[in-house]
Chain A
Amino acid sequence: MHGAYMLREMAVSAIRTSKLSKDYGVGRGLFELDLEVGSQEVFGYLGPNGAGKTTTIRLLMGMIRPTGGAAYVFGLDCRRDSVAVKRRVGYLPGEMPQFGSLRGKEVVAYLGGMRGGTDPKVVRSIAERFDLDLNRRFREYSSGNKRKLGLLLAFMHRPDLLILDEPTSGLDPLNQQEFYELLREARAAGATVFLSSHVLSEVEQICDTVGILRAGKLVRVARLQELRDAGETSLEEIFLSYYSETDHHQKALPE
């Protein structure tokens, strides 16, 4: 029974979007995104500022309504079944919100209490690995520590899918390595990862597949191993080949 369930789960894509669109007007937004991320895959989502990465992530999380198309996580509709979707997802937003004078341990307990099913041992393990002092108040945290707290909140319930918006932004190199290790462990435990990033070397190091977004449209999806096997140029050159000087100066999208 368990084996059959696992096989069915493997057959369903972790993320699937069909003509997913969010039109902010004057050519800004996300347009007709068709994307499929397989189970246990680490998917890197690339694009310059304003390309639509955060818009995609927020559509997947049901935070914003699509103007067209649909998005599914493990076969569940991201809008209609958003509660069921979020039960299986760990989310790191692009920017951590303010929790003022709450201590780190209170923020974890607050959001952990809302979510339920959080294992204090997992929390302790992640906090120790990042050397994140949960006794300190949120407003005393540096931007790096706020990021670490965000990662802890995303990983603490051992989700099936991690959706991470620029996860290493603000992390020092040591903690970046710790994060990569955490990611490998999560994947080995069966989790799927969808992350956006600007750091191409990072994506090359940790991702199986990359998707390149340009002005709200997905222009390329490629498996990194296939690129390497085919002897294609580096990810950086592939990425840059999609951007002319004019594109680079395009106005930022409301992400």
Chain B
Amino acid sequence: MTAIRLGFRLGRWGLLGFSVLAFASSFIQAVAFYQIAGHSPAQRAAFGQSMAQLASQLTFILAPPSGLDTVGGYVEWRSFGGLAILFGVWALVSGSGAARGDEERGLVEAVLATGLTRSRWLASRVTGYALASFVAALASGLALVAGAAGGGESVSLRPVIEISVALAALGLSCYALTLLIAQLTGARIATAAAGVVLLILFLINRLSQTFTWLASWRWLSPFHYYELNQPLAPGGAFDVRATLTMLGIALVAAAAAGAVFESRDLGAPFVRWPSRHRPAGYEPSGAPLWRIPVVRALYERRAGLSMWAAGLAAVSVLFVYLTKTVIQPLLSFPALSQFFGGFVGGQLYTSFLGYFWLSLAQLLFAGFAIAQVARWSAEDADGRLELILSTPRSRASVVVERAIALTLGAAIVAAVSGVAVAVAAHYQAMNVSGERLAEGTLLLVPFALVFAAAGAVLASWNPRAAVGLLGGLAFASYLVDELGPLFRWPTWVQDLSAFKLFGSPLSTGIDRSGLAIMVAIILVGFAVSILLMERRDIGA
């Protein structure tokens, strides 16, 4: 019981954060439904039809919905569909932290020294996460009840609990799979390896809607079993068998993780690759890159940058193929082709690519910036910044070097993904404006820098809270962009969102006022960061 309490306590911030996110997500969607869906049955039916059309274009990321003319069906699609991804990410971060992060910190060794067995320790972490994910999922369900009550309707508690159980079961199965993969690999690559596996499982399920040959592999994915549950939509049902399958996956993966954990050395991976013997060396590295400011920062994180560039390039190519697959059938209807042609000024592929690819690229570049800010915070917390500042460098120069290195890093990642899009579009015989593509891709750099500048201020002010606060800021920015037009918020409020400032560069070109605001935010943000950095105690 003590171990379970400890496991629960270790994940309390995750529980709090994801509960708030899950609640906010469902509540906002429920409230939005009553704002935009109308009140008469005819208005609701028209709304449901238009949303169904939108949903058919988003099947690469969200499950096909039903009952979109009801609050239950709408929230099930818009909120619980997205929460499946969010809970997958939570499970990944929490699972790899429990399996290897705590081990790296020495926590597992200290706990095992008290006499607790490895299996019981792992079981306590699984139980702690299971409780936390159910609480967070239930928060989302209760938000739907509250949102519906605000709209003068009532939602039965039974389907709310059913969807919460299904969402928690999905999170738990992802968590257990992460635990298992993290036991097999080295601590350094545990998160990346588990992330790749979960992403593949997600894509197998989602892309099987587009690429039918993937359908025969769908049974492997816990996301598939989650989507079989649609208790909130009229006519939908809670699939007991699918939910039990998810719990079965969790049980088997957790048991396998326990068995692997029992048989490996602490701090070592289960699968060891033979290491090449390297003679001892006493010379410093002779690479001249270490002596050049900014370049040394990029060289130091060359592995991470390469992964970001390769990952984004792969996602970009995938989205080019998806765009082609979605648009091609539409063009077979002459009337639709004419309509779209007039609507987007002939740049059909460019516009749809902008919608599909750049929307995701924005999220990924926000993630890229947050990852860099997390690194700055870690440098402060683990004493690395102190050692850097023990060299004859000013604090301002450290902030400036960080900013320039991030700019160049983002530019490299953006350029690689832009080239990948151009090449893939060329091979798909898609007519994409090269100029617009280059502009849109390069605009991702100031977009990332907006988050980096905000992160630099937070990291200089309070490094320990910086990542959480910046994540919240990015989420709020995304919500403002999503909800602003729905609720007809004033333009200045919508302009607070970096996503709004980014605009639609592939369709309409660069929004120069948006770019100017972004540049202003970047300059002010880094200037404030320098001022705060000069005044604060390092490591405090």
Q: How far is the CB of A90 from chain B (nearest CB, A)?
A: 8
Contact between B285 and A105, CB atoms less than 8 A apart: yes
Which residues in window 383-403 of B have CB below 8 A to A? Answer: 383-384, 386-394
Q: Tell me the complex Cα distance, A103–B281, Å.
A: 11
* B285 and A93 form a contact (CB under 8 A): no
Of A118-126, A197-205, A240-248, the one with at least 4 CB within 8 A of chain B? A118-126
Q: Is the CB of B280 within 8 A of A135?
A: yes
Q: Is A172 an interface residue (CB 8 A)?
A: no
Contact with B along A85-106 (1 / 0, CB 8 A): 0110101010111111111011
| Binding site secondary structure of chain B | loop
A103, B296: Cα distance in complex, Å: 14
Give the CA-CA distance A110 to B379 in the complex, in Å. 14
Q: How far is the CA of A134 from the CA of B379 in the complex (A)?
A: 22
Question: Do A110 and B386 touch across chains, with their CB atoms under 8 A apart?
Answer: no
Q: Which stretch, A45-53, A61-69, A183-191, touches the partner chain B?
A: A61-69
B300 on the A face (CB < 8 A): yes
- On whether the beta carbons of B539 and A134 are closer than 8 Å, the reply is no
Indicate which residue in A89, A114, A116, A136 contacts B388 across the interface (CB closer than 8 Å): A114
Chain A, Cβ-Cβ closest to B388? A114
Contacts of A133 in B (CB 8 A): 280-282
Tell me whether B487 is interfacial, beta carbon within 8 Å: no
Asked if A89 and B390 make an inter-chain contact with CB atoms under 8 angstroms apart, the answer reads yes
Find chain B residues with CB under 8 A from A114 CB. 296, 388, 391, 393
B540 to A, closest residue via Cβ: A64
6 extra interface residue pairs, beta carbon distance < 8 Å, beyond A62-B389, A109-B291: A84-B392, A101-B303, A106-B290, A108-B284, A115-B392, A134-B283
CB nearest to A61 among chain B residues: B390
Q: Does A238 contact B (CB under 8 A)?
A: no
Q: Which of A114-165 contact B (CB under 8 A)?
A: 114-116, 118, 120, 123-124, 127-128, 131-136, 139, 153
11 contacts between A and B (CB under 8 A): A86-B393, A93-B387, A97-B387, A103-B285, A106-B287, A111-B387, A113-B290, A115-B391, A134-B282, A135-B279, A135-B280
The answer to whether B284 and A96 touch across the interface, beta carbons within 8 angstroms, is no
Closest to A129 in B: B282
Could you tell me the distance between the alpha carbons of A136 and B279 in the complex, rounded to whole angstroms?
9
Number of interface residues of B (CB under 8 A): 36
A110, A124, A153, most chain B CB atoms within 10 A: A110
Task: Please tell me if the beta carbons of B290 and A123 are within 8 angstroms of each other in the complex.
Answer: no
A64 to B383, CA, bound (A): 13
Would you call A65 and B537 a contact (CB within 8 A)? yes
With beta carbons under 8 angstroms apart, the residue of A58, A99, A113 that contacts B296 is: A113
B392 touching A86 by the CB < 8 A rule? yes
Complex-state Cα separation, A139 to B279, whole angstroms:
18
The answer to whether A63 touches B285 (Cβ under 8 A) is no
- Tell me, yes or no, whether B535 is within 8 Å of chain A by CB: yes
Q: Does B538 contact A (CB under 8 A)?
A: yes
CA distance A95 to B383 in the complex (A): 8
A95 to B539 CA separation, bound complex (whole angstroms): 12
Is B278 on the interface with A (CB-CB < 8 A)?
yes
Closest A residue to B282 by CB, please name it: A127
**Interface residue? A176 (CB, 8 A):** no
A148 to chain B, nearest CB (A): 11
Do B387 and A83 touch (CB < 8 A)?
Answer: no
Question: B188: CB under 8 A from chain A?
Answer: yes
A97–B386 CB distance below 8 A: yes
CA distance A133 to B287 in the complex (A): 18
The chain A residue sitting closest to B393, CB to CB, is A114
Given A101-B188, A120-B284, decide whether A111 and B388 contact each other with a Cβ distance below 8 A. yes
Q: Is B382 an interface residue, CB under 8 A from the partner?
A: yes
CA–CA, A105 and B282, complex, Å: 8
CB-nearest residue of chain B to A103: B285
A169 at the binding interface (Cβ < 8 Å): no
CB within 8 Å of A: which B255-295 residues? 278-287, 290-292
Contact of B386 among A89, A93, A123, A139 (CB under 8 A): A93
Instruction: Give chain A residues whose Cβ lies under 8 Å from the Cβ of B537.
Output: 63-65
Q: Taking the nearest CB of chain B, how far is it from the CB of A57, in angstroms?
A: 11
- Which residue, A63, A95, A134, has most C-beta atoms of chain B within 10 A? A63
Q: What residues of chain B lie closer than 8 Å to A115, measured between beta carbons? A: 391-392
Which residues between 27 and 81 of chain A lie within 8 Å of chain B, taking CB atoms?
Answer: 58, 61-65
Distance to closest chain A CB from B140 (angstroms): 36
Complex Cα spacing A135 to B279, Å: 8
Q: What's the Cα separation between A51 and B188 when bound, in Å? A: 37
A139: chain B residues at CB < 8 Å are: 188
Fill in one digit per residue for B399-428: 1 if any A CB lies within 8 Å of its CB, else 0.
Answer: 000000000000000000000000000000
Q: How far is the CA of A154 from the CA of B405 in the complex (A)?
A: 26
From 435 to 483 in chain B, residues with beta carbon under 8 angstroms from any chain A beta carbon are none
In the complex, the answer to whether B386 meets A102 with C-beta atoms within 8 Å is no
Q: B281, B284, B290, B536 — which one has the most chain A CB atoms within 10 A of its CB? A: B284
B290 surroundings in chain A (CB, below 8 A): 106, 109-110, 112-113
A109 touching B287, Cβ below 8 Å? yes
| A83 surroundings in chain B (CB, below 8 A) | 392-394
Per the bound structure, the CA–CA distance linking A91 and B379 in Å amounts to: 17
A98 to chain B: which residues have CB within 8 Å? 382, 384
Considering the chains assembled together, what is the distance between the CA atoms of A28 and B299 in angstroms? 42
Q: Is A82 an interface residue (CB 8 A)?
A: yes
CB nearest to B536 among chain A residues: A65
Known A64-B538, A109-B287, A134-B282; contact A96-B383, beta-carbon cutoff 8 A = yes
**Contact, CB under 8 Å: B392 / A134:** no
Q: Is the CB of A86 within 8 A of B300?
A: no
A135 vs B275: C-alpha distance when bound (angstroms)? 13
